[in-house]
Amino acid sequence: MKLLIAANWKMHKTVAETEEYCRSIIVEEKLFGDVDIVICPPFTALFSAAEVLKNSSIKLGAQNIHWAEKGAYTGEISSAMLFELGIEYVIIGHSERRRLMAESDQQIHDKIAAALSYGLKPILCVGESESERNRGTTDHVIEKQLKSALVGIDQAKTSGLVIAYEPIWAIGTGKAATAEDAENAARYIRSKVENLLGSRITGELRVQYGGSVNSENIGSFVELPSVHGALVGGASLEADSFSTLVQAARKAVHN
Ligand code: PGA
């Protein structure tokens, strides 16, 4: 399975900064081999990013969507609006949104359904907090998040679904999970998703690891049997260092 490395910029970069980044990253494109790259800028920069990247193989993702197609939802953006821009991926259920915006399991489920109905590929984020981990409830937390997000989703439409295992304690802390923990969680996720959505998904489901990924540690994650990519925050913000990270991932899987 091809690696999928996604850059989650969070609330960073103006349109001008986005254009500059995208122009730099396409110059490096040939160095990425067959690694699939997705850049997720803020909403305001998606249109400009799409213009700069239109002749490249680098894909775009959004960081959130609303579950409705349209309506009285001040400040929200729908799948239909993203689809029109040619956006291919959307991050759903990031822990920052679950925690800071009080996103509920039901809303995350509805966002997954909305994204899939427009052919957008969701990157569903799951992962435990530090206290949940210390209590030994990691698997239980992940199972609950997967169930609430995926039960009732039309199995015929799950093509392109990606799950990002992002332990909350590893995000932005410089304290990445060990390869062993990432593999255990990714393997568990794969088996749970197969149970929920059927074994048809097995061959195409990509599970990413996310949380303090950088060019030094990416190799240890992408060479794991159950991990097929990464969701990268801080280390994706400079085109140069993101390019180095992607090249390191490529090298690790081809060694
Ligand atoms: P980080 O963020 O790489 O800065 O830890 C990852 C994420 O939040 O997706």
pLDDT digits (tens, 9 = 90+) for 98-116: 999 999 999 999 999 999 9
CB 210 less than 6 A from any atom of ligand 1:
yes
What does pTM read for this prediction? Answer: 0.98
pLDDT digits (tens, 9 = 90+) for 4-38: 999 999 999 999 999 999 999 999 999 999 999 99
With CA atoms as reference, report the closest residue to 178 among 133, 114, 121, 126. Answer: 133
The mean per-residue pLDDT over the stretch 121-129 comes to 98
CB 122 less than 6 A from any atom of ligand 1:
no
- Expressed in angstroms and rounded, the spacing between residue 7 Cα and the centre of ligand 1 is 9
Kindly state the percentage of the chain with pLDDT values over 90: 95
10: left (phi over 0), alpha (psi -120 to 50) or beta: left
When pLDDT is cut at 50, 70 and 90, the band that residue 195 belongs to is very high
Q: How far is CA 179 from CA 52, 188, 209, in A?
A: 35, 14, 10
CB 163 less than 6 A from any atom of ligand 1:
no
Q: What pLDDT does 200 receive?
A: 85
Q: What pLDDT does 199 receive?
A: 86
Report the nearest atom of ligand 1 relative to the CA of 213: 3
With CA atoms as reference, report the closest residue to 27 among 219, 233, 242, 222. Answer: 242
- Expressed in angstroms and rounded, the spacing between residue 15 Cα and the centre of ligand 1 is 21
